[in-house]
Amino acid sequence: MVLEEKKVIHVYDEGGPRLSFSYGPQHPGTGHFRMIVTVSGDTVVDLEPDPGFVHRGEEKMAEYKTWITNIPHFERPSILDATHMVLPYCLAVEKLMEVDPPERAKYLRTIVAELDRIASHLYWFSLYGIFLGHSTMFLWCVNDREFILDLSQLITGQRFTHAYVIPGGVRNDAPKTVPKDLVKEFKIYYMHMIGREPSQEELNEDFKKYVLNVADFMDLRLDQYYEMFFDSEIFIERTRGVGVLKREDAVKLGIPGTTLRASGVSFDTRVADPYDAYPYVKFKIAVRTEGDCYARAMVGFQEMRESLNIIRQTVEQMPEGPVKVKQHPVVIKVPKGEAIGRAEAARGEIIFYVVSDGADRPYRVRMITPSFRLLPALPHLSIGSRIADIPPIYWSLNYWPVETDR
Amino acid sequence: MNGVLESLLKFILSEEFIRAAIFPGITFVLFYALFTVWYERKLLARVALRIGPLHVGKVAGILQLVADAVKLLTKEVVIPSKSSRKVFFISPVIGGFIPLLIFPFMPLGERWVIFPSDVSLLIVFAVIAISPIPFIIAAWASRSKYPFIGMIRLGFQLFAYEVPLFLALIPVIILSGSLDLKDIVYAQQTIPFILLLPLSFIVFLISSIAEVERIPFDLPTAEQELVAGWTTEYSGVLLEFIQLGVYLKADALAILTSLLFLGGWHGPDIPFIPPDIEQPLWLLLKSLVLLSFILFLRGVYPRITIDRLLDIGWRILIPLALLNIFIAAFLKIYIL
């Protein structure tokens, strides 16, 4: 990785004594991650990221597990965004096996992946809020995330870490009907939040209608979020013009995902290298040109709307049919060779490089996670800013320590 | 023996004792502080689509705070090895009790004042002015990095906002012509000062929010930036004292604002209730409205940064407060 030279900044007490302190891992604002911050007054003169607190050797572990039993493991680094962690692995294995999953499986994968993206972004915003001292934002996002997770559970059987995607399809089909209790609960919550009955004709136990209703509900809630948080004067003041990542710098540092798109580069793996059902749906890539913390938040915000659009389209278009190819449920043989799988995870592009020697387990698996690629941006943006700007910069990158450490 | 009992009973039933120990005195003040915390949690829960405290106590989790206070009391007090132990221990205790000194001089009604004084306003603000000093000493005594940064922020913030807080008082003194809080309330019998001095009221309110470190001005304890700011090293009973001091100050400033600007205990007559009960009722109602406003800010706004905070303090609030003095003088000479 090419790291650019450290930014040099000028402070009024050049050469004077410096206060340097450990920002994490026991800190309410970092998670399993540490930065060693050196300040002059209120200005950050040096920031050294120190990841590795939750390293568990996922890549090495993968060499001792079979092709299928690896799947629940690969989800662990980012349980919020579990489908996207497995998807590129399955794509790579499918390339080696030369199988093509059935059409319905592709649509189901897309729905679950987009649900995960929304859930992950909601969690991102909830913590974004709490990092700026906005506890209401935290609780609103977490509350609404509940219905997205319920929907994931309905389809996959688990709220998150659903291990849903397997090489050659998905584990099980989506249900035809929704439990009565869930619909009733959703109706009450909808009434409470929006102030009127759900609009989609009649909300009933039909799966398709329920999904469309949840998508409409999230859309309306996003409008409320905009008024309450993103249009709030102090939120804008804390984030606009803070931590500006220029387009050239973003490209030079190899930054992926929402951060790259917030800096004005319109790159999305879903469009650049389409997989699953993405070629069949229409959506826009959310791009902003400012490159500051506010732009990064707004890219995520717009992406949630696009995800809802994708879910609506996929549910409408989803064909009937089988959801997986016929194969042994646990022991599969993968022919000799190597392959790469790419997908656009919530945090950015995730890449899996898989090598097989023809055995029942991988010879080598390499995960390239978006969070790790985001790491160089952190010192680049923080040096020269104030202590109070570290939380918005850190969290606007949508950095996830566990994903970095793997 | 009889004589002793009689005089003891006489003392307990005497108005002075009841005033000091029960109504405007210590019992009321501590219960009011507890109530504020409970009210804050309930109100914020409503904003954040939650229920808040629910199970402890029969009604709406009213005993949750007692449970929390007892829990804090049972916790170990961890004293950092590098800290100066005596100062570390004593200063939060002092800081917790100094705001209590505000209440004896603050009238809650015509009769409800523990220690009547001609200069009660001056005394009250003298106490408010010294209240941050033990906290600054406490943070200094921790000898730790996060408390150090928090302490610097605390110093900057409190000294920047005490100036407009006191300057906003001067118009009130000019209009009422007295330093006695009672006289100030009497002067508002017909028109509360908020109508005559709206700018002064706003300056005073914003400064008091900054003074009690509430969001959006909670920079000295900014959790996600500085762990817990200047209180980082404190735990258990010492933390309880700090919290007590902060909440007492918040209550005191809410009541003071209603005394100075909202007409104090004046309000429409309620039939069949004697004025001695009616007056504190109106005053507490007004202060509760103010308190709700202050607490709502925490649900609606994120935290602002230190440079912006100082900017607002020195460049906006102080000139505004100075301008108000001229407005008040103009009102006093030419209109009233």
Average pLDDT, rounded, for chain A: 86
From chain A, the residues in CB contact with B301 under 8 A are 134, 232, 234
Do the Cβ atoms of A386 and B305 come within 8 Å? yes
**pLDDT tens digits, one per residue of A265-308:** 888 888 888 888 888 888 888 898 888 889 998 998 999 999 99
Q: Is residue A248 in some structural domain?
A: yes
Domain count along chain A: 1
Closest alpha carbon to B19 in B98, B106, B96: B106
Partners of A385 in the beta sheet? none
Q: Is residue A268 in some structural domain?
A: yes
pLDDT number for residue A257: 85
**pLDDT tens digits, one per residue of A306-355:** 999 999 899 888 888 888 888 877 888 888 889 999 998 888 889 999 99
From chain A, the residues in CB contact with B142 under 8 A are none
pLDDT number for residue A1: 44
Nearest-neighbour CA in chain A from B230: distance (Å): 15
Q: Which of the residues B151, B305, B307, B310 would you substitute to probe the A interface, choosing the one with the greatest number of A C-beta atoms within 10 Å?
A: B305
Q: Which two tokens stand for residue A47?
A: 């920031």
pLDDT number for residue B29: 87
Q: Is residue A23 in some structural domain?
A: no
CB of B222 less than 8 A from some CB of A: yes
User: Would you call A261 exposed, middle or buried from its count of C-beta atoms within 10 A (0-12, 13-18, 19+)?
Assistant: buried
Residues 6+ apart with CB under 8 A from A389: A44, A242, A243, A382, B305
Backbone angles phi, psi at A320, to 5 degrees: -85, 165
Which residues of A lie inside 8 Å of B (Cβ-Cβ)?
A: 19, 21, 27-29, 42, 129-140, 143, 193, 228, 232, 234-235, 237-238, 386-391
Task: Choose the closest CB to B215 out of A42, A133, A143.
Answer: A133
CA atoms within 13 A on the CB side of A182: 20
Closest alpha carbon to A54 in A357, A338, A274, A371: A371
Q: What is the mean pLDDT of the segment spanning A129-142?
A: 86
pLDDT number for residue A202: 67
Q: Is residue A56 in some structural domain?
A: no
Task: Choose the closest CB to A387 out of B216, B225, B302.
Answer: B225
Q: Distance between CA B169 and CA B70 in Å, rounded?
A: 39
**pLDDT tens digits, one per residue of A171-207:** 888 888 888 888 888 888 888 787 777 765 666 778 8
By DSSP bridging, strand A364-368 and strand A348-356 are: antiparallel
Single-letter code of the amino acid located at A369:
T
Q: Which two tokens stand for residue A257?
A: 């995902």
Q: Is the pTM above the cut of 0.90?
A: no
pLDDT number for residue A355: 92
Q: What is the CATH number of the domain that holds A131?
A: 1.10.645.10
Residue percentage of chain A with pLDDT more than 90: 6
Q: Is residue A330 in some structural domain?
A: yes
Q: Is residue A336 in some structural domain?
A: yes
Q: Is residue A51 in some structural domain?
A: no
Partners of A366 in the beta sheet? A353
From chain A, the residues in CB contact with B302 under 8 A are 129, 132-134, 137, 232, 234-235, 238
pLDDT number for residue A32: 85
From chain B, the residues in CB contact with A228 under 8 A are 300
From chain B, the residues in CB contact with A391 under 8 A are 224-225
User: What is the residue-level pLDDT of chain B in tens, covering all 336 positions?
Assistant: 678 888 888 888 887 888 888 878 788 888 888 888 888 888 888 888 888 888 887 777 888 888 888 888 888 888 888 888 888 888 888 988 888 888 888 888 888 888 888 888 889 888 988 888 888 888 888 888 888 888 888 888 888 888 888 888 888 888 888 888 888 888 888 888 888 888 888 888 888 888 888 878 887 777 777 788 888 888 888 888 888 888 888 888 888 888 888 887 877 777 787 877 888 888 888 888 988 888 888 888 888 888 888 888 888 888 988 888 888 888 888 877
Single-letter code of the amino acid located at A193:
M
For residue A294, count other CB atoms closer than 10 A to its CB. 23
Q: Is the pLDDT of residue A2 over 50?
A: no
From chain A, the residues in CB contact with B223 under 8 A are 28-29, 133
Nearest-neighbour CA in chain B from A388: distance (Å): 6
Do the Cβ atoms of A237 and B304 come within 8 Å? yes
Domain of residue A252: give its range: 69-369
Q: Distance between CA A331 and CA A334 in Å, rounded?
A: 10
Do the Cβ atoms of B219 and A135 come within 8 Å? no
Do the Cβ atoms of B145 and A21 come within 8 Å? yes
Q: Is residue A17 in some structural domain?
A: no
Quick one: how far is CA B311 from the chain centroid?
24
